[in-house]
């Protein structure tokens, strides 16, 4: 295997950006197409996240991911959390507000929805309440960024996206992976045909929860709160597969480990096959393959019972891409281009370091979850989209969210856990 220091890679690596440099940027993002933020990273790295337009955020929930998202906003001078709300206690909202310098702290989500100063609500409480909370925010005229999983069923997700469209509001699932420059780079390689036609994707995400959560008194293990590995970890590898294949899978074969007492899935695996949306085959003279575009397989697995390497590999007719661990929030990508002879590749790696933390972030306790500073990429992209009048982001569309939900529904159905009516009923309690 040859290691190549590709000129492009060197250029990108030396373009490691410092988010604390003053952004000279009135111009770059005024001109930037919100669909190509990666290009902005490459051409003007020091202002990649800093120069996004202003947006006033309301934070719905005061748990761990809400902490991390709010901390990440501190990297964006123009995106400001102006209000927060807790459903479990007003004291929790006060404590959260004090920690993050947010003056409006509400003891109910209704009050947050009525705050006229809030442009967009980050919905980061447990997902079993998605339908009622997002519906409330949309009905109050708020744009919404909704943590993954977007909802607890495809039906609920469709209902909420339709409502957002009817109200002409931005609404998106927080599939933050897609906004990492490393993933933007992957999409660029794919669209340039850098690995030929994609034929397979392998993606895993197992994180251990029994050492960090009170077992079993955590929402992760609660059937009533829609716990289970497929909803907490599953969206990432499913979305990784969908990033590479445009069609909906024609076959979904699932297996899972279900805890009979808890009634939730502790681990799962899925084999997906994707049909070809284009009937004509491509006669690729280099690979001597007759390959139908978009046809391939994905193998994904996820769980709560151990810690996996957490990588995504995308295999193409002319090479492969490795999204290094942690693949759901990656900073490193390797392209292995196929050379003559089996097993021979030429490899080039790109690093996209996370933004440095501000003192404010460090002094207020930093982050709970790995690489959460990268949530700033998502927040910045959304601010750009909203300013451009877009109702979703090109990085992760509503259509893709709906596909993820449909596949997760199917997983739960095949392992005997999907009771649509029961979940919907729970949502409304
Ligand atoms: N993108 C990412 O990297 C991550 C996303 N997530 C997603 O974010 C969501 C929340 O996860 P996380 O922050 O880790 O969860 P936490 O347990 O830290 O917080 C959950 C919040 O949900 C609300 N809640 C309401 N009822 C309950 C209940 N009975 N038990 C516990 N919480 C309750 C509370 O809201 P309140 O504060 O309003 O009272 C609480 O703060 C999940 O949907 C998860 O999938 C989680 C981790 C990382
Ligand atoms: O989305 C997530 O859910 C579970 C977490 O442990 C993980 O780090 C996170 O990104």
Rounded to the nearest whole angstrom, what is the distance from the C-alpha of residue 13 to the centroid of ligand 1?
36
Cα→Cα distances 125→66, 88, 90, 367, Å: 8, 10, 15, 16
Give, for 264, the enclosing helix (H) or strand (E).
strand 264-274
Rounded to the nearest whole angstrom, what is the distance from the C-alpha of residue 18 to the centroid of ligand 1?
31
Pair 213, 126: CB distance under 8 Å: no
pLDDT in tens, 147-176: 999 999 999 999 999 999 999 999 999 999
**Would you say residue 19 has pLDDT above 60?**
no
Ligand nearest to the CA of 304: 2
Rounded to the nearest whole angstrom, what is the distance from the C-alpha of residue 233 to the centroid of ligand 2?
7
Ligand 1 touching residue 418 (CB < 6 A): no
Ligand nearest to the CA of 130: 1
Q: What's the mean pLDDT in 366-371?
A: 96
Ligand nearest to the CA of 326: 2
Place of tokens 């074969």: 253
Ligand 2 touching residue 370 (CB < 6 A): yes
Q: b/e string for 357-380 if b means 16 or more Cβ within 10 A?
A: beeebeebeebeeebbbbbbbbbb
Pair 363, 83: CB distance under 8 Å: no
Report the atom number in ligand 2 closest to the C-alpha of 232: 3
Report the atom number in ligand 1 closest to the C-alpha of 66: 13
Report the atom number in ligand 1 closest to the C-alpha of 88: 39
Ligand 1 touching residue 221 (CB < 6 A): no
pLDDT in tens, 91-120: 999 999 999 999 999 999 999 999 999 999
Residue nearest to atom 5 of ligand 2 (CA): 369
| CA angle centred on 167, ends 61 and 152, rounded to 5° | 45
pLDDT band, residue 310 (cuts 50/70/90): very high
**Would you say residue 44 has pLDDT above 90?**
no
Pair 374, 180: CB distance under 8 Å: yes
Pair 57, 142: CB distance under 8 Å: no
Rounded to the nearest whole angstrom, what is the distance from the C-alpha of residue 6 to the centroid of ligand 2?
33
pLDDT band, residue 257 (cuts 50/70/90): very high
**Would you say residue 11 has pLDDT above 70?**
no
pLDDT band, residue 276 (cuts 50/70/90): confident
Cα→Cα distances 306→165, 266, 311, 325, Å: 40, 10, 15, 15
- Side by side, the strands of the sheet bearing 79-85 are 104-106, 79-85, 55-60, 120-123, 143-146, 171-173
Enter the pTM of the model: 0.89
**What DSSP line would sit under 74-103, residue for residue?**
TT-TTEEEEEEE-SS-HHHHHHHHHHHT--
**Mean pLDDT of the chain, nearest integer:** 86
3-state SS assignment for residue 191: helix
Cis status of the peptide bond prior to 310, with omega within 30 of 0: no
Q: CA–CA separation, 292 vs 418, rounded Å?
A: 34
Tallying the residues shown for the chain, one arrives at: 429
pLDDT band, residue 295 (cuts 50/70/90): confident
Ligand nearest to the CA of 426: 1
Rounded to the nearest whole angstrom, what is the distance from the C-alpha of residue 284 to the centroid of ligand 2?
40
Ligand 2 touching residue 96 (CB < 6 A): no
Rounded to the nearest whole angstrom, what is the distance from the C-alpha of residue 1 to the centroid of ligand 2?
34
**Would you say residue 67 has pLDDT above 90?**
yes
Ligand 1 touching residue 127 (CB < 6 A): yes
Q: What's the mean pLDDT in 405-413?
A: 98
Residue nearest to atom 7 of ligand 2 (CA): 369
Q: What's the mean pLDDT in 283-288?
A: 51
Ligand 1 touching residue 63 (CB < 6 A): yes
Residue nearest to atom 4 of ligand 1 (CA): 65
19 secondary structure, DSSP code: T
Ligand 2 touching residue 206 (CB < 6 A): no
The residue whose CB lies within 8 Å of the most ligand 1 atoms, and thus the one to mutate among 215, 219, 330, 367, is: 219
Pairing mode, strands 296-303 and 198-206: parallel
Pair 161, 15: CB distance under 8 Å: no
Rounded to the nearest whole angstrom, what is the distance from the C-alpha of residue 221 to the centroid of ligand 2?
14
Ligand nearest to the CA of 147: 1
Give the model's pLDDT for residue 278.
60
Report the atom number in ligand 1 closest to the C-alpha of 235: 45
| CA angle centred on 238, ends 264 and 299, rounded to 5° | 95
The terminus-to-terminus CA distance of the chain in angstroms comes to 58
**Would you say residue 30 has pLDDT above 70?**
no
Strand ranges for 278-413 from DSSP E: 281-284, 289-292, 296-303, 312-316, 319-323, 332-338, 345-351
Hey, how many other C-beta atoms are within 10 angstroms of the C-beta on 284?
14
**Would you say residue 214 has pLDDT above 90?**
no
Tokens of 323: 């999204």
Hey, how many other C-beta atoms are within 10 angstroms of the C-beta on 260?
6
Residue nearest to atom 6 of ligand 1 (CA): 65
Burial level of 269, CB count in 10 A (0-12/13-18/19+)? Answer: middle
Q: CA–CA separation, 18 vs 357, rounded Å?
A: 10
3-state SS assignment for residue 363: helix
Ligand nearest to the CA of 370: 2
Ligand 1 touching residue 64 (CB < 6 A): yes
Ligand 1 touching residue 107 (CB < 6 A): no
Q: CA–CA separation, 239 vs 218, rounded Å?
A: 25
């Amino acid at each position: 295997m040859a290691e190549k220091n590709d000129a492009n890679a060197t250029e990108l690596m030396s373009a490691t950006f410092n988010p604390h440099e003053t952004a000279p940027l009135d111009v770059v993002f005024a001109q930037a197409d919100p669909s190509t933020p990666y290009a902005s990273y490459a051409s003007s790295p020091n202002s990649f996240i800093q120069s996004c337009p202003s947006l006033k955020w309301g934070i719905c929930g005061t748990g761990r991911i809400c902490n991390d998202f709010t901390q990440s906003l501190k990297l964006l001078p123009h995106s400001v959390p102006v209000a927060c709300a807790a459903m479990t206690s007003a004291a929790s909202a006060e404590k959260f507000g004090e920690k993050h310098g947010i003056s409006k702290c509400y003891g109910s989500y209704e009050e947050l929805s009525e705050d006229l100063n809030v442009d967009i609500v980050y919905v980061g409480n447990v997902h079993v309440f998605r339908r009622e909370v997002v519906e409330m925010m949309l009905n109050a005229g708020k744009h919404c960024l909704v943590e993954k999983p977007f909802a607890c069923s495809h039906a609920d997700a469709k209902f909420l996206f339709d409502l957002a469209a009817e109200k002409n509001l931005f609404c998106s699932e927080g599939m933050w992976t897609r906004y990492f420059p490393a993933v933007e780079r992957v999409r660029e390689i794919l669209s340039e045909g850098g690995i030929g036609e994609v034929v397979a994707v392998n993606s895993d995400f197992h994180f251990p929860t029994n050492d960090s959560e009170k077992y079993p008194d955590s929402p992760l293990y609660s059937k009533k709160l829609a716990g289970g590995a497929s909803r907490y970890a599953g969206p990432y590898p499913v979305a990784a597969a969908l990033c590479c294949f445009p069609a909906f899978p024609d076959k979904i074969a699932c297996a899972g480990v279900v805890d009979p007492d808890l009634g939730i899935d502790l681990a799962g695996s899925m084999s997906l096959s994707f049909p070809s949306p284009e009937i004509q085959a491509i006669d690729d003279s280099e690979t001597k393959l007759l390959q139908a575009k978009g046809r391939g397989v994905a193998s994904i697995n996820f769980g709560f019972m151990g810690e996996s390497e957490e990588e995504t590999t995308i295999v193409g007719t002319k090479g492969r891409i490795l999204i290094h661990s942690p693949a759901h929030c990656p900073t490193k990508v390797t392209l292995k281009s196929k050379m003559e002879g089996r097993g021979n590749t030429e490899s080039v790696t790109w690093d996209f370091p996370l933004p440095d933390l501000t003192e404010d972030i460090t002094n207020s306790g930093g982050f709970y979850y790995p690489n959460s500073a990268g949530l700033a990429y998502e927040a910045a992209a959304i601010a750009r989209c909203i300013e451009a009048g877009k109702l979703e982001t090109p990085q992760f569309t509503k259509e893709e969210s709906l596909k993820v939900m449909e596949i997760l529904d199917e997983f739960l159905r095949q392992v005997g856990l999907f009771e649509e009516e029961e979940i919907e009923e729970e949502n409304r309690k």
